[in-house]
Structure 1
Amino acid sequence: MQSEGNSKRKRPKKKGNRFMRNAKGFAKQGIFGRGTHIDDEQFSYFINILDAMKVGFEDVEERVNMANNVFEQTHDQEIHLASNQIVSKALETLVGFVDDVQLERYFNKFGETLRPLCSDRFASHVLQKMVEIAFLRGVGKSAIQDSSDAGTSSKRAKPDAAQVEEEYNLEADFSEDHREKCRQFVLRISKFMLNNLEDFVWDTCASHIMRTSILCLVGMHVPKIAFEKGGTDMAKHRKLYAVPDEWKEVMKEFPQRLEMWPHFADFPYQEHSSSLLGVICLALSVADKSVLKHFAKKILTIGLLKPNDDDEQKEDADTKIEIKIDEEEEAKETEEGTEEKQTDSNLPKVFHHQCSVVLLETILGVAGSKLLTQLYAMLFRNRIAYLAQQQGTNFSIQRLLQHIKEVSDFESVFNELQPHVEELLKMGYTGVVSALSSACLRLGTKQVQMIAALQSALHVSGDKEKSKLFFNCLVKLKPFEIVGNDESGFVHLHGSLIAQHLLQFNKPIFLVNCILDLPATQLAQVFNTPNGSHIVDAFMQSKFIGEKSRERLIRQLDGFYVDLAITRHGSRVFEVCFKASQDAQKLRMAKELFSKTNMLKGSPHGQIIFKKYRLDTYKLSPSQWLEILSKHLDSDQPKEAKRKTAKTAADAFKDILS
């Protein structure tokens, strides 16, 4: 595509180290941060604070003490200092740990001059963070309903900055009076944003505060972290809290006002207004699905269906009339390129701008069944294959496949994509193929055709010898001709995911046989990788793979269990296989591990396996060891069940927010 939609998606850059380096460099020239002027002494103080924060703190109490000391230094200079680039970074990072007196002082000071602060490129960040902290303190831990990261973090995982800050503000012993003032502050800022909507929609700084306020009004928490990445990386922190009904009613006024604007149709094509529409759709998916349906439909009909205004194309058409092409060969050479441009120009305007494409993906993620059908019919039908092969829009096809609900709609999408599977793999758009196989699994249709399409794309169909290497080709996502000379242990992420989907299809026998016919050395090599290890999970958990096939795979890995157990990802495979094994096989696996105890203990992962499965007691009595071990492992089941329950709830909420 000729417009910005074809450009690569911008990834957030790590700014922390570069920011500090640049700040110290400018200080040598007498420039102490942008924004309001601070003196050399103040600059040195706050730059040292930022340095200390980058090193980290031993405990929360240390953070709280530093936060209170820093905020005390800003007394009677709150607005002036917050409007400086260096100071605003420090305040933004520490405001989540200040005591009630300091925070309420900032509520009052900022409340006196809200309008200019909302548009200030540095103080606005502090205000945005204050809204988030006020929200957390206002709702409290008892209000939590669901979270996208519940149950996914292990006990050994160290909590990140966002989790530490969130936990402190939810659990700290703040008075009810302070919590009420925090709730009032959230409501006050939100109403101020609503009353000044016309001015702030286009404002770079204020629009961020508005988006945070809208999410807070429906109880959705997305942390703002200085020096940290944004976008999809922050999605893992999203949590949902119960909020007063009054807040949700205030939030609904935002879409009601916006959709009455005469230039509503242009909102999807400007960065800040497009992001605002996306946040409103996310908030409405929690607050009121009927309002969401109406609002998203209006975005679709008024904004997203706009034809692409291509003045350059009109000029080219006029030029073509004047220019006479005499040679037929020249015309033939340019024929394909002309057809591609024509297809591109016929696309709705939504696909020509990155911000509108991202908005469309957000709507696809929260839309109901009927709206999804309308989106497909009006924007995607007969364009699926073309959009899937474009850099800026193949993500939209993936999002459509992830959420499409009607089987008839999906079958139409599948029929458009099936002839282009090989082309998509060659172009590197493997995520589309993975999303296609996932949708086949989720909706229970077109599964045989999916396997056939992959066989054809990987050049293994129609030949018995070639077909035996289907699994090898699949996990590497490379055709037969290339895989024949590839002895590396590389496993493609999407290749692994597709293999997992296929193993859970209704008739996975072809792929199962391909796996079981492979030499054990190759299997162990694949399973001993980060991506390949999860294929074993799908094999053991599939409802359509028989017990005999599972036992055969487990027996096939005999002799390689020590090699697996001493590595990070292989040890997972060992545990999955051990759990699925019969008693006789478990004894053989234990015997193999025990015979190479020194090798096992020489690895940190092997040591964990040795202790967990109590292999030190195996030699005394293998049968008694097995009986004791079964009771020991069964006692851990309730904990795992709780984690799985929490994860299931988290996955359901992630469908709304992803």
Structure 2
Amino acid sequence: MVCVGSKAIRPKGSTINGLGDGALDDSSHKKRTRKDTSEKHGKGGHSSSKGPSVGKPRHVKDRKQRKDDGKKGKGRRKDHHSGSSVMVNPRTKNLNNQDAVPSSDTSKPVQNVLRKRVDPETAKYFMEISNLFDNKEIDFEERSTICANALEETRGKEHELATDAVISHTLQVLIEGCELEQLCTFLRNCIDYFSVIAVDKNGSHVAEAALKSLATHLEDEASRAMIEGILNKICKVIAVDAVTVMSSCYGSHVLRTLLCLCKGVPSDSLQDFHTTKRSSVLAERLSCGTNQSSRHVPKNFENGFSGMFRSFVREMLHNAKADIATLRVDKNSSLVLQTALKLSSGDDNELHHIISILLGYDEYKTVQTRDYSEKMDEIVTLLEESAYSHLLEVIVEVAPDELRNGMLARSLKGALFAISSHHCGNYVVQAFISSTKTSDQMNQIWEELGPNMKELLELGKTGVVASMLAACQRLETYRLEVFVYELFVFA
């Protein structure tokens, strides 16, 4: 029992679970890593935090009294809304794949969900919890008890609490400090609103914190069944509203974290799938000892759920297929699709399926038999879009050899210099060059770009030139002396 003044926090049950394994960050309720996520305390319709107890909120005890007050005109109207709402895209199709995430009642899309105001008593309660954590005078065991009891008080109010500008910070701390069982219970209770929470400015941080906390338990064999169960439910809900979630600047972060969790990416490596440093990418491309496709080969992902990951990606793309043309050129959704591709690296069958859909083909036809030349004009035009060029860059990097070679020979032949001259498209050409594995492939590239070295340097496309130099050295197609000679001749 933890005392604050003369009041105490008491567990609802007769026993309290053991200490949680999740990492606790005292400052996590004050820090937001994405844009426009900081809010001043005092907003959100809360009343003053002075004077409340930290035990059960009085609204639990005084429900009857408020009912009487309502009759006198003093109480608040039931289900008083703040007026804000979130539309979630209704998509109810299921995969034909028998291994797809099991269907359940949670697969029904939530539409036009109105966010309720947090009632004053609950707001006061969580403000006191926040003050306790700010105090930093409680030990780990007391903190665990507080997290357990406070999460119990969220039952039935998960949506409004997670999307509240102030309380969402506190909720993050509770999620990071609770036990796995309590975390899974919280997620099960808010599963119907998880998509809505994920695309909310404040709720997305709560959703992402919950997923990252799950990731810290992946190595515990005894916890895998519990984690797999809740992930199944989350994946089903997200897949139904895939277009809405991946197109949201907030939902995109959550969805990428969810994909990484399903694949088993270690918690300390999650950030690698949220940011890409151009300098490090170019450095790897200039490494003569390896080829580009090795950059995304999954390593140390043995703690993932491979079957669930594949089914989730397939169902997500199936439900988003009608909007794929828009999703390819949208920054937020492109990042999600890039993550799915990178995590699928090495799985040729799944890559054929994913790339087929992303390039606008019918996924039920065989990729190898298609004539990519019919897509050339479309691809070259779309490369003007930054989001699409980055997506195609990843496609080139991870595509199976036969598919990549077909794209190079049929889709982009004759257009390499034009694409290399573009501020976005040149990265795609760099990826093509770095992924070459035979001297014949390099010779085809040289025929188009070799005579244009001077123009590429004048345009500042040194990355393309450097990638060619590295590939020539790696494949010993043109030795360094020949490369330099050609460079000076055309200069």
TM-score range, shorter chain: 0.5 to 0.7
From 242, 248, 253, the counterpart of 2:314? 253
Contact 1:350-1:357 at 8 Å conserved across structures: yes
Contact 1:361-1:396 at 8 Å conserved across structures: yes
Letter in 1 for 2:235: S
TM-score normalized by the length of structure 2:
0.59
1:291 aligned partner: 350
Q: Distance in 1 between matches of 2:129 and 2:458?
A: 52
Contact 1:64-1:97 at 8 Å conserved across structures: no
Question: Relative to 1, partners in 2 of residues 1:442 and 1:129: Cα closer, same or farther, differing over 3 Å?
Answer: farther
Contact 1:200-1:206 at 8 Å conserved across structures: yes
User: How far off is 1:202 after superposition?
Assistant: 4.8
Letter in 2 for 1:434: A
Q: Distance in 2 between matches of 1:72 and 1:442?
A: 61
- C-alpha deviations, 1:54-79, integer Å up to 9, x for none? xxxxxxx9889767646754542344
Contact 2:162-2:197 at 8 Å conserved across structures: no
- C-alpha deviations, 1:347-405, integer Å up to 9, x for none? 73321211111110111111121111122134432222222222122221222222122
TM-score normalized by the length of structure 1:
0.45
Q: Distance in 2 between matches of 1:306 and 1:42?
A: 63
Q: Does 1:232 find its partner at 2:276?
A: yes
Q: Would you tell me which structure has more helix in proportion to its own residues?
A: 1
User: How far off is 1:445 after superposition?
Assistant: 1.0
2:472 aligned partner: 440
Letter in 2 for 1:82: A
Q: Distance in 2 between matches of 1:198 and 1:16?
A: 24
Contact 1:373-1:406 at 8 Å conserved across structures: no
Q: Distance in 2 between matches of 1:89 and 1:378?
A: 52
- C-alpha deviations, 1:271-299, integer Å up to 9, x for none? 3443343333233325x312312431343
Question: Relative to 1, partners in 2 of residues 1:427 and 1:66: Cα closer, same or farther, differing over 3 Å?
Answer: farther
Q: Distance in 2 between matches of 1:112 and 1:346?
A: 39
Question: Relative to 1, partners in 2 of residues 1:272 and 1:29: Cα closer, same or farther, differing over 3 Å?
Answer: closer
- Correspondences of 1:67-146 after superposition (within 5 Å): 69=146, 72-73=149-150, 75-77=152-154, 78-89=158-169, 91-92=171-172, 95-111=175-191, 113-137=193-217, 139-140=218-219
- Correspondences of 1:11-26 after superposition (within 5 Å): 23-24=39-40
**3-state SS of 2:359 partner:** helix
Contact 1:278-1:362 at 8 Å conserved across structures: yes
Contact 1:193-1:200 at 8 Å conserved across structures: yes
User: How far off is 1:248 after superposition?
Assistant: 4.4
Question: Relative to 1, partners in 2 of residues 1:112 and 1:67: Cα closer, same or farther, differing over 3 Å?
Answer: farther
From 415, 431, 443, the counterpart of 1:411? 443
User: How far off is 1:112 after superposition?
Assistant: 5.5
**3-state SS of 1:372 partner:** helix
User: How far off is 1:254 after superposition?
Assistant: 2.3
From 282, 307, 325, the counterpart of 2:342? 282
Q: Does 1:182 find its partner at 2:218?
A: no
Question: Relative to 1, partners in 2 of residues 1:254 and 1:210: Cα closer, same or farther, differing over 3 Å?
Answer: farther
1:192 aligned partner: 237
Q: Distance in 1 between matches of 2:409 and 2:254?
A: 35
Question: Relative to 1, partners in 2 of residues 1:253 and 1:49: Cα closer, same or farther, differing over 3 Å?
Answer: farther
Greater relative contact order (Cα < 8 A, sep 6+): 2
Q: Does 1:356 find its partner at 2:433?
A: no
Question: Relative to 1, partners in 2 of residues 1:27 and 1:363: Cα closer, same or farther, differing over 3 Å?
Answer: same
User: How far off is 1:189 after superposition?
Assistant: 0.9
Letter in 2 for 1:88: S
Question: Relative to 1, partners in 2 of residues 1:210 and 1:229: Cα closer, same or farther, differing over 3 Å?
Answer: closer
Question: Relative to 1, partners in 2 of residues 1:231 and 1:64: Cα closer, same or farther, differing over 3 Å?
Answer: farther
Q: Distance in 1 between matches of 2:163 and 2:45?
A: 20
Letter in 2 for 1:187: N
Question: Relative to 1, partners in 2 of residues 1:371 and 1:72: Cα closer, same or farther, differing over 3 Å?
Answer: same
Contact 2:208-2:257 at 8 Å conserved across structures: yes
Question: Relative to 1, partners in 2 of residues 1:52 and 1:248: Cα closer, same or farther, differing over 3 Å?
Answer: same
User: How far off is 1:46 after superposition?
Assistant: 8.2
Question: Relative to 1, partners in 2 of residues 1:375 and 1:432: Cα closer, same or farther, differing over 3 Å?
Answer: same
Q: Distance in 2 between matches of 1:413 and 1:232?
A: 26
2:421 aligned partner: 389
Q: Distance in 1 between matches of 2:353 and 2:216?
A: 30
Contact 2:265-2:301 at 8 Å conserved across structures: yes
Question: Relative to 1, partners in 2 of residues 1:423 and 1:52: Cα closer, same or farther, differing over 3 Å?
Answer: farther
Contact 2:198-2:254 at 8 Å conserved across structures: yes
Give the aligned CA root-mean-square deviation in angstroms.
4.7
User: How far off is 1:215 after superposition?
Assistant: 3.4
User: How far off is 1:222 after superposition?
Assistant: 6.5
Gaps of 5+ in 2: 1-30, 49-83, 85-114, 281-294, 363-371
- Correspondences of 1:52-71 after superposition (within 5 Å): 69=146
User: How far off is 1:141 after superposition?
Assistant: 6.3
Letter in 2 for 1:188: K
- C-alpha deviations, 1:161-197, integer Å up to 9, x for none? xxxxxxxxxxxxxxx2x54322211122112323444
Contact 1:38-1:84 at 8 Å conserved across structures: no
User: How far off is 1:140 after superposition?
Assistant: 0.7
Q: Distance in 2 between matches of 1:114 and 1:28?
A: 21
Contact 2:44-2:166 at 8 Å conserved across structures: no
**3-state SS of 1:84 partner:** coil
Letter in 2 for 1:134: L
Contact 1:348-1:379 at 8 Å conserved across structures: no
User: How far off is 1:442 after superposition?
Assistant: 2.1
Letter in 1 for 2:276: T
Q: Distance in 2 between matches of 1:50 and 1:95?
A: 13
Question: Relative to 1, partners in 2 of residues 1:294 and 1:99: Cα closer, same or farther, differing over 3 Å?
Answer: closer
Question: Relative to 1, partners in 2 of residues 1:50 and 1:293: Cα closer, same or farther, differing over 3 Å?
Answer: farther
1:420 aligned partner: 452
Gaps of 5+ in 1: 1-13, 54-60, 143-175, 309-344, 460-658
Letter in 2 for 1:220: V
Query: After the TM superposition, which of the residue ranges 34-43 and 364-373 deviates more from structure 2?
Result: 34-43
Contact 2:44-2:165 at 8 Å conserved across structures: no
